[in-house]
Structure 1
Amino acid sequence: MQVIFFSSKTYDRQFFQSDNQHHSHELYFLDVPLHTGTASLATNYQAVCIFVNDVANKEVIQQLADVGVKLIALRCAGYNNVDLAAAAQAGIQVVRVPAYSPYSVAEHTLALILTLNRKTHRAYNRVKEGNFSLNGLMGFDLHGKTVGLIGLGKIGKVTAQILKGFGCQVLGYDVATDQECEQMGVVYSSLDEIYTQSDIISLHCPLTPQTRHLINRNAIAKMKRGVMLINTSRGALIDTPDVIEALKTEHIGYLGLDVYEEEADLFFEDLSEKVIQDDIFMRLLSFPNVLITGHQAFFTRNALQGIAQVTLQNISDFEQQKALVNAVR
């Protein structure tokens, strides 16, 4: 099957070309993102493969349908960037990778927590400059702290397992309960209970109309003063201006982000020689208690292998008219 990839990087080509030996699809890689100005590049391709910041709104989907595209293959779990109703109307199937390596994101979540807490990023820079002072580097024991996890899917569950290993009390919120989570000692709680009781809050839920800006000034007002907030899920779960106000008043004591609501114009590119025009993002960078990584939580060898395998199998299943177990409707 002929497949065109948007927003592809060197590592995408490496892992997809390697796994394609088992499928023999015709793969063509573009580094440009999918949007209204690039959708025509999919002419003569039956499938497009897109990532988290590609735009597949109603207009783009109609353009894809007009040039003969029959399948949108997401090489990620989230699908909030795809107009599913428009795809269904246009007769385009949508498939995704519902799970790759939950350990990759869960472990990165802990990396953000530990780095913010023990300030290892600041200590690293000090030591390189010959500054061995410990002033300003004091942290706290994770053991005994209460951590609230919003979302207990595969990633949230693995995060809970790791945190229990540190001796944390783990509260969890999800629309459904999970017996394995209960057996490991996760206490299912309401959002208000998580807000009021947690020393650390970590987001692991999908972005939906109901969860957009879940963390806003009202939610923050209920949180403990000095709370640590972590987001490795989707940027728009957080109302960034509200979070900035809470950072200024020190209500939020630590902020760790691997995602950002307006990241499409920033992440996955080298902008070191340019002036970043996003004033909100630059304001976040000005805080000493904010740590931001550029959507790299998924970025492990294991995860990329899994993403390539599942994506190409999804495409093969579509080509062979098999049941699409990872279809999104």
Structure 2
Amino acid sequence: MKIFIFGIGKKEQPVAEQWAKQTGVQIDFTAQELNAQTISLAKGADGISFQQMAPVYDEKIYQTMAENKTFLLGTRSAGIDGLNKEYLKKYQINACNVPVYSPRAIAEHVLTLTMMLLRQMPRLLQREQQQNFILDGLIGREIHELTVGVVGTGHIGLVTAQLFKALGATIIGYDKYPKNDIEHILTYRDSLEDVAAKADILTLHTPYLPENHHLIDQKILGLMNSDSLLINTARGPLVDTQALIHALQNGQIAGAGLDTLEDEMFYVNKTKSQQVEQNPYIEKLLTLDNVIVSPHIAFYTLQASKILMENSLNSLYALYTEGTADSLIQL
């Protein structure tokens, strides 16, 4: 078997090489993203593993895979919204993801963003560049006095709730499919509106689906209190960014920590000179002293990166040798 790996990082390469040595599977790789131009690099491979911000929607990618008899595709992520299911079906390509890797990695980043915002770090760092150390406007808040609203209580949401609970916060949550026996961690509310109205910190942990596009919109932002924070480490399109900017500028909410953003593929993992297309929101957000934007790195820890690579390769190997895998995406 041969697997071609797209978007490999310096820390991932030794992991992939060690896996190949242990399994006897041939691998090849590139740091480039998977697209209609680079797909030719994978000719001769039985399977492809990739990780990137840009979605894999171009039919030419799937068509070329089929022509090259490459019928296995694995995304090194939990989310599958970057794949085109129509073309997977059309060209009979089996795809897999990594449903669970390191929920703690994302949860700790949520905590990091929250702590920075609670202690006014964006404003402090802006002032620091001007040698301005006036205390006015830098007063912070303590987590144990606050209510955290967790939207989506899957693996990541639940670990996030546990971390905040350990720090003494009151935890409330909303999920279309509530879990049983977690009353010791959080209390479910009947609606997103109820959670938004009561939470000092609203953190998102739901997958992106067409039905929850702009889940956090002008209406929900209007229900939040003026001291509240919004944290998004899930998917950018869950938030109506224009409505969020308006809410931040007008004091409807106190701040936002955004690890993911609409149209983030225009800037994530790129320098300014490499950003051929301009993200419509990034410049405005970066001028605000109550916002933190990180480049979709909540998952990006040594442990999570290792798990993502190994699990992706293991799933492709299972699909090749057994015809199925636990992480097979149902079409």
TM bracket, shorter-chain basis? over 0.9
CA distance in 1, matches of 2:281, 2:135: 31
Q: 1:6 maps to which residue?
A: 6
CA distance in 2, matches of 1:95, 1:275: 31
- 8 Å CA contact 1:58–1:87 kept in 2: the answer is no
Partner amino acid, structure 2, of 1:3: I
Q: 2:258 maps to which residue?
A: 257
Q: 1:45 maps to which residue?
A: 45
Q: 1:288 maps to which residue?
A: 289
* SS in structure 2 at match of 1:55: coil
Q: 1:304 maps to which residue?
A: 305
Partner amino acid, structure 1, of 2:15: F
Q: Deviations over 1:271-308 (max 9, x none)?
A: 37879833421111110000011111111111112112
Q: 1:181 maps to which residue?
A: 182
Partner amino acid, structure 1, of 2:263: E
What's the TM-score, normalizing by structure 1?
Answer: 0.92
- 8 Å CA contact 1:177–1:188 kept in 2: the answer is no
Partner amino acid, structure 2, of 1:9: G
Note the residue ranges of structure 1 that are not aligned, 5 or more in a row: none
The 1:307–1:121 alpha-carbon spacing in structure 2 relative to 1, beyond 3 Å, is same
Q: 2:19 maps to which residue?
A: 19
CA distance in 1, matches of 2:53, 2:13: 18
Within 5 Å, give how 1:194-213 maps onto structure 2. Answer: 194-213=195-214
The 1:249–1:132 alpha-carbon spacing in structure 2 relative to 1, beyond 3 Å, is closer
- 8 Å CA contact 2:53–2:268 kept in 1: the answer is no
- 8 Å CA contact 1:3–1:25 kept in 2: the answer is yes
CA distance in 1, matches of 2:48, 2:324: 19
Q: 2:225 maps to which residue?
A: 224
The percentage of aligned residue pairs carrying the same residue is: 29
CA distance in 1, matches of 2:274, 2:78: 32
Q: CA deviation at 1:131?
A: 5.1
The 1:222–1:288 alpha-carbon spacing in structure 2 relative to 1, beyond 3 Å, is same
CA distance in 2, matches of 1:55, 1:41: 18
CA distance in 1, matches of 2:173, 2:24: 43
Q: CA deviation at 1:17?
A: 2.0
CA distance in 2, matches of 1:246, 1:125: 21
Q: CA deviation at 1:221?
A: 1.9
* SS in structure 2 at match of 1:149: strand
Q: 2:113 maps to which residue?
A: 112
* SS in structure 1 at match of 2:37: coil
Are 1:82 and 2:83 an aligned pair? yes
* SS in structure 2 at match of 1:320: helix
Out of 53-62 and 240-249, give the one that drifted further. 53-62
- 8 Å CA contact 1:171–1:189 kept in 2: the answer is no
Within 5 Å, give how 1:59-74 maps onto structure 2. Answer: 59=59, 60-74=61-75
CA distance in 2, matches of 1:276, 1:322: 41
Partner amino acid, structure 2, of 1:16: A
Q: CA deviation at 1:146?
A: 1.4
Q: 2:36 maps to which residue?
A: 36
CA distance in 2, matches of 1:87, 1:158: 33
Are 1:164 and 2:165 an aligned pair? yes
CA distance in 1, matches of 2:176, 2:21: 40
CA distance in 2, matches of 1:171, 1:185: 5
Q: Deviations over 1:259-279 (max 9, x none)?
A: 112111211233378798334
Q: Please provide the CA RMSD for this pair.
A: 2.2
The 1:297–1:173 alpha-carbon spacing in structure 2 relative to 1, beyond 3 Å, is same
- 8 Å CA contact 1:2–1:46 kept in 2: the answer is yes
Q: 1:317 maps to which residue?
A: 318
The number of residues matched between the two structures is 329
Q: Deviations over 1:143-202 (max 9, x none)?
A: 131111111011000000011112211111112222242232333431111121111110
- 8 Å CA contact 1:94–1:328 kept in 2: the answer is yes
- 8 Å CA contact 1:23–1:312 kept in 2: the answer is no
Q: CA deviation at 1:228?
A: 0.5
The 1:275–1:79 alpha-carbon spacing in structure 2 relative to 1, beyond 3 Å, is closer
Out of 68-77 and 218-227, give the one that drifted further. 218-227
